[in-house]
């Protein structure tokens, strides 16, 4: 439909039809027979007549199902406006990829884009038009359950991943590419910083920190063309995001130039009442529309009160027209007026969803996502001649998909036992489980392990312990798992801990007792195959952490790009009590941002730094070169990382900031030169008056395999004063 036709459509709509486009209902409303007197429709005070005006549905899929719902809806819609179908396709639709916090450890935006494109294809042939992804909230607090959906604690990486996800989901042209779906950047804004890591809790951030750390990834996703943004549950600066005009009108719309659809999170409009800034749903609806929320998800504020608010002159109908225009434009961008059934196709659904090709891609991504945290005396990779004890928490053998795997089926996933069988016969495996309730590991239980050569123990979290609503005050392993490791240690056999989890955990209880630790995250459908391929060295681990692992939950929020403070703890003043430190634990993480081992080793030559003064701008540009050599016996992949530090700023500056990285694969003895170029934009930051610029001065340039093992080179850089 062209713009004039769309304008004509809008002008033909009644106010009820306009308001209906601003309402999103769950799939349940379309599963029940039309009943105005019971169930969800009754609760929402929703007549059959109003049902015909609704604009979008969430949380239901399947080509046949959605074709039928769309057909029935169009038959009732006076102007034939098609429904939008939206759902949470977070890290895969039915072929499940590793959780985002795992995929991020691959340090490969192309792989992220590919995973999103596959998820989009499976979702599109299943009838979906929009995914509520990517979640691009920056995170620093491992107590918060939703860190598993994020890509970690660094703004530079999060921006690259936000772009990659949006590109993967939306493809080149939503109107013509029926295997693409619209993306939704969430949760705007700051949801990843709840006080005390407690789900849905208050967020207290200075606008300067919000702008330097949290906003960049949202803006990157919007600049990449995301068609939707979702409001966050939390309050920010005392105003719930869904009612926050500063956030939505000033920053999102004016500053970021976002013209797409702003949708509330589930029931977030109604939650203004418990937040305490609206007395009732009518007032909440007024605040939401004034903040520019175009679609309310699963509340009846717009549905039941917008018309009244207009009649009472409380809001102008132009606000409704703006919102409906954006919703109609989204439907038009998806080509729904020409083809309301778009990509929905049962035959293609059967052929494409969960295809072998997709599973192989998911396995490859899982292999790239895993992080080797420890490998004392190189007990990994395993030999196929070893007899292996595999110990798995009871009932969790296939709990490998993570908390946001919606259509993913655990019983379709590959367990680690099945993965090992791809390398060794079942006679070479002693399979044991540990029960949560297990009081103690008995002698006869241990006796079964007497003749094994090595023990692989699966530890970590169940998917229930991770994701939305899963904040934890204690991020240790479950006590029965700690007890198990202590008992296994008495057998004096090598122990490999394989972690299935959705957050950085406090591993201090087992770190000395195990010989190797492989962080596998929730690896998705191909979990067992991917883990086994790494354990047997078919793939050399190359993942690097994008979120710090603390020594104790008391350190949290913990992140690498922290400020120095006025009394920093350093290697030179460890004895001094009056420093920014704890009495009982070191300040450093157990495993730092950017950390990950390999089965081989990499040598870094001293970095070479070249400064050039741009004749045009009269400002310095920097080139850094370093030679990397694979000095081990196995082929492997290294992620070379470049950090900077602004030694003196107009506000305190982080002790280090990731600015570039390069992933290089090298054969044994092979070398390569890695070069990075930086210019003024890479050094700019937000000042107290919220202006963005950088002053001339001393800067540290740091290069290495993670955020702690760094060669430092200090330079003086000249930048022109900003007008």
Going by C-beta distance under 8 Å and a sequence separation of 6 or more, which residues neighbour residue 567? 578, 579, 580
Nearer to ligand GLC, 118 or 241 (CB): 241
Rounded distance between C-alpha atoms, residue 317 and residue 490, angstroms: 74
Cβ 84 to ligand GLC, closest distance in Å?
Answer: 14
**Which secondary-structure segment (H or E) carries 672?**
strand 671-678
Query: 120 to each of 116, 128, 434, 622, how far by Cα in Å?
Result: 6, 9, 38, 39
* Gap between the Cα atoms of 649 and 35, Å rounded: 64
Instruction: Find out whether 320 and 15 touch, Cβ atoms under 8 Å.
Output: yes
CB of 8 to ligand GLC, least distance (A): 33
Closest CA to 455 of 400, 523, 395, 386: 386
191 or 521: CB nearest ligand GLC: 191
Choose between 333 and 468: whose C-beta lies nearer to ligand GLC.
Answer: 468
Smallest gap from residue 69 Cβ to ligand GLC (A): 18
Name the minimum Å distance from CB 316 to ligand GLC. Answer: 29
Q: Nearer Cβ to ligand GLC, position 58 or 157?
A: 58
Nearer to ligand GLC, 266 or 599 (CB): 266
Q: Rounded to whole angstroms, how far apart are CA atoms 163 and 171? A: 11
282 touches 273 (CB < 8 A): no
Cα–Cα–Cα angle for 581, 582, 585, rounded to 5 degrees: 115
Please give the size of the binding site for ligand GLC, defined by CB under 6 A.
Answer: 7
**Site mask, ligand GLC, residues 411-450, x = CB under 6 A?**
----------------------------------------
What is the three-state SS of 386-435? CCEEEEEECCCCCCCCCCCCCCCCHHHCCCHHHHHCCCCCHHHEEEEEEC
Q: Which of 453, 459, 484 is CA-nearest to residue 388?
A: 453
Beta bridge partner(s), residue 459:
499
Positions 55 through 114 that interact with ligand GLC (CB under 6 A): 58, 88
- Which lies closer to ligand GLC via its Cβ, residue 468 or residue 684? 468
Among 16, 468, 621, 684, binds ligand GLC (CB under 6 A): 468
Between 151 and 707, CB nearer to ligand GLC: 151
Contact between 132 and ligand GLC by CB under 6 A: the answer reads yes
**Closest Cα partner for 195 from 264, 269, 144, 268?**
144
DSSP letter at 550 equals P
Question: Residue 30 CB, nearest distance to ligand GLC (Å)?
Answer: 16
> From start to end of 490-572, where are the E strands?
495-500, 516-519
Site track for ligand GLC across 166-195, x = CB under 6 A: --------------------x---------
Cα–Cα distance, 85 to 70 (Å, whole number): 9
Count of alpha carbons within 13 angstroms of residue 620, beta-carbon side: 17
Rounded to whole angstroms, how far apart are CA atoms 368 and 539?
Answer: 9
Residues 6+ apart with CB under 8 A from 628: 602, 603, 604, 605, 638, 640, 664, 666, 671, 672, 673, 674
SS (H, E, C) 58-102: ECCCCHHHHHHHHHHHHHHCCCCCCCEEEECCCCCCCCCCCCHHH
In the bound complex, what is the minimum distance in angstroms from residue 51's beta carbon to ligand GLC?
A: 20
Cα Rg of the chain, angstroms: 27
Nearer to ligand GLC by Cβ, of 150 and 345: the residue is 150
Residue (9 or 135) nearer to ligand GLC, CB: 135
C-beta of 163: minimal distance to ligand GLC in Å? 20
CA distance 428 to 456: 13
Contact 503, 466 (CB under 8 A): yes
User: Please, which of residues 624-663 interact with ligand GLC by CB under 6 A?
Assistant: none
Specify the residue, 88 or 461, whose C-beta has the smaller distance to ligand GLC.
Answer: 88
Residue with Cβ nearer ligand GLC (146 or 423) = 146
128 vs 89: CA distance, rounded Å: 10
Q: Scanning residues 257 to 286, which ones bind ligand GLC (CB under 6 A)? A: 265-266
State the residue number with the nearest CB to ligand GLC. 132
Helix, strand, coil share of the chain (percent; to 5)? 35, 20, 45
Q: How far is the CB of 301 from ligand GLC (least distance, A)?
A: 17
- Tell the smallest beta-carbon distance from residue 88 to ligand GLC (Å): 5
| Shortest Å distance, C-beta 513 to ligand GLC | 38
Q: Let me know if 265 is a catalytic residue.
A: yes
> 141, 154, 212, 265: which one is catalytic?
265
Q: Least CB distance from residue 355 to ligand GLC, whole Å?
A: 26
Question: Which residues are part of the catalytic machinery?
Answer: 265
The residue ranges that bind ligand GLC (CB under 6 A) are 58, 88, 132, 186, 265-266, 468
């Amino acid at each position: 439909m062209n713009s004039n036709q769309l304008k004509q459509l809008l002008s033909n709509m009644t106010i009820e039809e306009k308001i209906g486009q601003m309402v999103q209902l769950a799939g349940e409303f379309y599963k029940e027979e039309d009943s105005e007197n019971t169930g969800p429709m009754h609760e929402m005070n929703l007549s059959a007549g109003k049902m015909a005006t609704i604009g979008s549905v969430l949380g239901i899929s399947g080509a046949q199902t959605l074709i039928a719902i769309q057909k029935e809806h169009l038959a009732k819609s006076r102007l034939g406006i098609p429904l939008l179908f939206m759902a949470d396709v977070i890290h895969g639709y039915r072929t499940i990829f590793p959780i985002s916090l795992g995929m991020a450890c691959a340090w490969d935006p192309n792989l992220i884009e590919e995973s999103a494109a596959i998820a989009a294809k499976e979702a599109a042939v299943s009838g979906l038009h929009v995914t509520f992804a990517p979640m691009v909230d920056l995170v620093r607090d491992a107590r918060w359950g939703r860190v598993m959906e994020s890509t970690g604690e660094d703004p530079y990486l999060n921006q690259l991943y936000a772009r990659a996800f949006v590109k993967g989901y939306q493809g080149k042209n939503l109107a013509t590419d029926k295997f693409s779906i619209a993306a939704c950047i969430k949760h705007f804004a700051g949801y990843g910083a709840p006080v005390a890591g407690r789900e849905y809790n208050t967020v207290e951030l200075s606008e300067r920190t919000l702008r330097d750390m949290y906003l960049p990834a949202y803006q990157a996703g919007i600049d990449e063309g995301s068609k939707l943004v979702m409001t966050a549950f939390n309050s920010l600066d005392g105003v719930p995001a869904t009612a926050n005009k500063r956030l939505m009108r000033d920053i999102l719309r004016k500053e970021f130039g976002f013209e797409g659809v702003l949708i509330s999170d589930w029931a977030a409009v109604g939650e203004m009442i418990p937040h305490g800034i609206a007395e009732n749903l009518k007032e909440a609806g007024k605040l939401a529309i004034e903040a520019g929320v175009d679609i309310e998800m699963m509340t009846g504020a717009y549905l039941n009160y917008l018309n009244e608010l207009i009649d009472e002159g409380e809001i102008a109908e132009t606000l409704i027209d703006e919102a409906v225009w954006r919703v109609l434009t989204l439907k038009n961008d998806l080509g729904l007026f020409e083809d309301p059934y778009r990509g929905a196709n049962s035959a293609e659904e059967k052929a494409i969803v969960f295809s072998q090709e997709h599973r192989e891609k998911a396995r490859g991504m899982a292999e790239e996502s895993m992080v080797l945290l420890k490998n004392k005396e190189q007990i990994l990779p395993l030999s196929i001649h070893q007899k292996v004890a595999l110990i798995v928490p009871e009932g969790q053998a296939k709990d490998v998909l993570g908390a946001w795997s919606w259509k993913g089926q655990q019983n379709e996933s590959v367990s680690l036992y099945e993965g090992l069988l791809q390398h060794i016969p079942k006679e070479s495996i002693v399979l044991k489980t540990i029960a949560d309730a297990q009081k103690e590991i008995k002698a006869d239980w241990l006796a079964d392990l007497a003749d094994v050569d090595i023990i692989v123990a699966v530890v970590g979290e169940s998917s229930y312990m991770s994701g939305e609503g899963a904040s934890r005050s204690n991020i240790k392993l479950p006590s029965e798992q700690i007890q198990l490791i202590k008992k296994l240690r008495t057998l004096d056999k090598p122990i490999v801990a394989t972690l299935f989890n959705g957050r950085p955990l406090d591993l201090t209880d087992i770190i000395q007792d195990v010989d190797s630790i492989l962080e596998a995250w929730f690896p998705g459908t191909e979990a067992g195959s991917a883990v086994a391929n790494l354990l047997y060295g078919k793939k050399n681990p190359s993942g690097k952490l994008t979120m710090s692992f603390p020594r104790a939950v008391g350190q949290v929020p913990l992140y690498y790009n922290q400020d120095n403070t006025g009394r920093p703890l350093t290697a030179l003043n460890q004895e001094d009590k009056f420093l920014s430190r704890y009495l009982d634990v070191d300040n450093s993480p157990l495993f730092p941002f950017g950390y990950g081992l390999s089965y081989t080793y990499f040598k870094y030559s001293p970095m070479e730094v070249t400064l050039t003064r741009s004749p045009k701008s009269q400002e310095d540009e920097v080139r850094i070169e370093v030679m990397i050599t694979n000095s081990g016996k196995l082929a492997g992949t290294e992620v070379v990382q470049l950090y900077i530090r602004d030694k003196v700023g107009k506000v305190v500056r982080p002790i280090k900031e990731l600015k570039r990285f390069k992933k290089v694969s090298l054969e044994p003895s092979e070398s390569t030169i890695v070069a990075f170029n930086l210019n003024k934009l890479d050094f700019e930051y937000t000042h107290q008056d919220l202006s963005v610029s950088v002053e001339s001065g001393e800067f540290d340039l740091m290069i290495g395999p993670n955020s702690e093992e760094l060669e430092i080179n200090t330079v003086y850089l000249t930048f022109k004063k900003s007008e």
